[in-house]
Amino acid sequence: MAFDLEGLYRTTYDSVVRFLYRKVWDADRAEDLAQEVFMRALAHQPEKPRSWVFAVAANIARDEARAAFRRRKHLVLISHEPSAAPAANDDVEEAMDHAEQEAEVKRALAMLTPRDREVLLLWDAGLSYPEIAEQTQLALGAVGTTLARARQRVVEAHDSMEGQRAEHRANARS
Amino acid sequence: MPNIARTHVPEAELHAYCDGELSPSQRVEIAEHLLGCLICRAQHAEVAELRARVTTLLAIASPRQIGRRVVPPARRPRRASRMMIAAAVAIIGGGAWLLVPPSDGERRPTQLATSLGLVDFFRLGHGDADLAALRDRQLAMAMRTIAAPQVQAGRAAPQFLRPLLIGTGTEVDPVVTSEWTFATMDDALKAANGRLARVADIPVRLVRIHPSAAGGRPTFLIRQELADGRFVWVVEGLEGDVAPVEQLLQASGIAMSAATRTRPDYVGTGAQTTITVRMVRVVGYLPVDSLNVLAQKLVVR
């Protein structure tokens, strides 16, 4: 089968960026890493490009995390890139709101076991159960169970945070 | 042999069902089970909601914009300067060594570039080294440009109520033979002397009429669509006429509500008067309880 980089790029680029973003939490860095993933794909011309791309993305993200840890430096959360136009007040508020929501999701994801999180992120990236099984070394039958647990836990973790937030608000008011 | 009396569907299997990761036969098995099992239907709804929530949560944890740093296509250069090559190397950075050797990748970059209208680049007479560097740069840019900037909010939440339809079976009216003819609602009402039973408050999608064997009022089959897209049929006809229809329905495995008798119709006058009783049933691929509830909502108009 001919290797179709263009098609692969078109169909998976956004998913790869999102997948990486949820590991490095920096939009620019995620895109840089995604570029590298596709460069490598072009060099290797893998047989199963879709799963290959995510396997490499996972590896790159892992290396990235190790390097960041060595540098003892946290990755910048907020992009340095100045926005093209000065943002209106609404946008700023919306951005803050979004950042807050995102931080909650990030923390909820952090509360999962690495394996559960990986399966969840791979599923959201559009991989099928067999593809997820291959990449995570799980038995095919275990993917559904893992995914069920991961979904349950991430929502529970998120809900508990929401609950805490509501409590804080109530306390602040009284 | 299929396990008919299966216990409740395990949760993980419901996840796989919602994710579309089961084989067709497994799907059918679960769909059938869901039709008859209230507990699993509730569980299925919970899984579906959980799944949708996770998708929403993950969509929040996404870059606000993907592919915003698109490098605009370069203007057609007269020749490749050293600076440009340096720029190309700088752009590709560490990725340059990963590119395909020219023999293998000869056509691909051109394809990419062609798709972007950048083919002119490759026709110019550059030295091999220049060309390779330029091609690399073009490729790097092409790769950034191919995917138009677009942010998707994750997977769209699928319609969970629809999978309960088994194949296309429910789209086809049950027990229909060539003797059944299509009719508009108006025609049907005319044939029924203005009195035709149907379930209140849900739209009628199709009406079929079957002539009466006794030469009386025809039998009607009215297809109505529930809010979730499933169909039910109201079968209405003279007692003697609906009996064979009901037998066929019973044999086909479709569920039927308890029969409702309408008030008798008096046809003719005086000694010629005959009393006819119409039977009405609600039929569908639903639990009988549900059909009986629907039958209580039958109205004659």
- Of A58-67, A124-133, B40-49, B178-187, which gets the smallest average pLDDT? B178-187
Q: What is the pLDDT of residue B72?
A: 36
Residues A68 and A113 placed together within one structural domain of the fold: no
Q: Which residue has the tokens 């025609």?
A: B187
Is a pLDDT exceeding 60 seen at residue B151? no
Can you name the residues that pair with B164 across neighbouring β-strands? Answer: none
Contact check, Cβ <8 Å, A18/B63: yes
Can you name the residues that pair with B199 across neighbouring β-strands? Answer: B298
A91 interfacial to chain B (CB closer than 8 Å): no
Q: Is residue A44 part of a domain?
A: yes
Q: Looking at beta carbons, which residues of chain B come within 8 Å of A102? A: 60-61
From the list A35, A42, A105, which residue is nearest B57 (CB)?
A105
- How far does the CA of residue B134 sit from the closest CA of chain A (Å)? 16
DSSP E strand boundaries for B174-264: 181-183, 197-199, 204-210, 219-225, 231-238, 255-256, 260-261
pLDDT band with cut points at 50, 70 and 90 for residue B161: very low
Q: What is the pLDDT of residue B196?
A: 83
H-type helices in B68-184, by residue range? 82-92, 102-105, 107-115, 120-123, 128-146
How many residues appear in chain A? Answer: 174
Residues A17 and A46 placed together within one structural domain of the fold: yes
Is a pLDDT exceeding 80 seen at residue B210? yes
pLDDT band with cut points at 50, 70 and 90 for residue A117: very high
The single-letter DSSP state of residue A26 is: -
Residues A49 and A8 placed together within one structural domain of the fold: yes
Residue B120 or A55, more confident: A55
Q: What is the pLDDT of residue B162?
A: 35
One-letter amino acid at B194 equals G
Is a pLDDT exceeding 90 seen at residue A89? no
Q: What is the pLDDT of residue B216?
A: 74
Q: What is the pLDDT of residue B160?
A: 38
Contact (Cβ atoms closer than 8 angstroms) between residue B233 and residue B225 = no
> By residue range, what is the domain housing residue A113?
90-174
Q: Looking at beta carbons, which residues of chain A come within 8 Å of B55? A: 124
From the list A36, A102, A151, which residue is nearest B61 (CB)?
A102
Is a pLDDT exceeding 50 seen at residue B40? yes
Q: Is residue A85 part of a domain?
A: no
Q: In degrees to the nearest 10, what's the CA dihedral of B253, B283, B250, B6? A: 30
Q: Looking at beta carbons, which residues of chain A come within 8 Å of B108? A: 5, 42
B234-279 pLDDT tens trace: 888 887 788 878 777 777 778 888 877 766 666 655 566 666 777 8
Residues A1 and A28 placed together within one structural domain of the fold: yes
> Which residue, among B204, B186, B241, has the nearest Cα to B219 in the 3D structure?
B241
Is a pLDDT exceeding 50 seen at residue A80? no
Residues A6 and A68 placed together within one structural domain of the fold: yes
Mean pLDDT score, A111-134: 93
Q: Which residue has the tokens 């009719």?
A: B183
One-letter amino acid at B38 equals L
From the list B12, B66, B143, which residue is nearest A144 (CB)?
B12
Is a pLDDT exceeding 50 seen at residue B120? no
B265-267/B274-276 β-pairing: antiparallel
pLDDT band with cut points at 50, 70 and 90 for residue B170: very low
Residues A173 and A113 placed together within one structural domain of the fold: yes
Q: Looking at beta carbons, which residues of chain B come within 8 Å of A21? A: 61-63
From the list B54, B98, B115, which residue is nearest A155 (CB)?
B54
Residues A65 and A135 placed together within one structural domain of the fold: no
**Residue B125 phi, psi dihedral angles, 5° rounding:** -85, 90
- Of A11-20, A150-159, B173-182, which gets the smallest average pLDDT? B173-182
Q: What is the pLDDT of residue B94?
A: 39
Residues A100 and A173 placed together within one structural domain of the fold: yes
Residues A122 and A64 placed together within one structural domain of the fold: no
Mutation target to probe the A interface, by most A beta carbons within 10 A, among B46, B56, B60 is B60
Q: What is the pLDDT of residue B6?
A: 62
Contact (Cβ atoms closer than 8 angstroms) between residue A42 and residue B136 = no
Contact (Cβ atoms closer than 8 angstroms) between residue B242 and residue B279 = yes
Q: Is residue A83 part of a domain?
A: no
Contact check, Cβ <8 Å, A6/B146: yes
Q: Rank A12-21, A60-69, B64-73, B150-159 by mean pLDDT and report only the highest.
A: A12-21
The Cα angle at residue B11 between residues B7 and B13, in degrees rounded to 5: 85
Contact (Cβ atoms closer than 8 angstroms) between residue B85 and residue B130 = yes
Residues A14 and A94 placed together within one structural domain of the fold: no
Mean pLDDT score, B47-67: 86
> Which residue, among B235, B182, B247, has the nearest Cα to B209 in the 3D structure?
B182
What CATH number does residue A173 fall under?
A: 1.10.10.10
CB-defined contacts A:B, below 8 A? 125
Q: What is the pLDDT of residue B101?
A: 39
CA distances from A139 to A62, A131, A143, A148 (A): 23, 11, 7, 15
pLDDT band with cut points at 50, 70 and 90 for residue B141: low
**The total number of structural domains that make up chain A:** 2
Nearest CA in chain B to A33: B95
Q: What is the pLDDT of residue A18?
A: 92
Mean pLDDT score, B72-82: 40
Mutation target to probe the A interface, by most A beta carbons within 10 A, among B66, B91, B110, B112 is B66
Contact (Cβ atoms closer than 8 angstroms) between residue B261 and residue B163 = no
- Structural domain boundaries of chain B? 11-62+154-163, 82-146, 165-300
- Of A4-13, A50-59, B65-74, B149-158, which gets the smallest average pLDDT? B149-158
One-letter amino acid at A161 equals M
- How far does the CA of residue A174 sit from the closest CA of chain B (Å)? 30
What distance in Å separates the CA atoms of residue B265 and residue B213, rounded to the nearest whole number? Answer: 17
Q: How many CA atoms lie within 13 Å of A62's alpha carbon, on the beta-carbon side?
A: 8
Is a pLDDT exceeding 90 seen at residue A121? yes
Contact check, Cβ <8 Å, B152/A148: no
Here the ipTM equals 0.81
The Cα angle at residue A150 between residues A144 and A152, in degrees rounded to 5: 100
The single-letter DSSP state of residue A88 is: P
pLDDT band with cut points at 50, 70 and 90 for residue B13: very high
Supply the DSSP string of B41-54, one letter for each residue: HHHHHHHHHHHHHH
Q: Which of residues 125-144 of A touch B (CB under 8 A)?
A: 126, 128-129, 143-144
Q: Looking at beta carbons, which residues of chain B come within 8 Å of A123? A: 19
Residues A74 and A3 placed together within one structural domain of the fold: yes
Mean pLDDT score, B8-27: 91
Is a pLDDT exceeding 90 seen at residue B15? yes
| Count of Cβ atoms closer than 10 Å to residue A166 Cβ | 10
